[in-house]
Amino acid sequence: MQILGDSHYYLGENDNALTYYRMFSELAHKVNDFKMLSEAYRKTALAYLKKYDVNTAIKLSNQCLKFATLTKDEFQLLRAYHLLYCISDRTTHPMARDR
* Residue-level pLDDT at 37: 96
DSSP 73: -
- pTM for the full predicted model: 0.86
Q: Residue 37 maps to which CATH number?
A: 1.25.40.10
- What's the total number of domains in the chain? 1
* Residue-level pLDDT at 86: 87
Give burial (CB, 10 Å; 0-12/13-18/19+) of 25.
buried
The answer to whether 47 touches 86, Cβ cutoff 8 Å, is no
Q: Which range marks the domain in which residue 11 is found?
A: 2-98
* Residue-level pLDDT at 90: 74
* Residue-level pLDDT at 94: 59
Residue 81 to residue 74: CA distance in whole angstroms: 10
Q: What is the pLDDT along the chain (99 residues), one digit of tens a residue?
A: 889 999 999 999 999 999 999 999 999 999 999 999 999 999 999 999 999 899 999 999 999 999 999 998 999 999 999 999 988 877 766 556 544
The answer to whether 44 touches 21, Cβ cutoff 8 Å, is yes
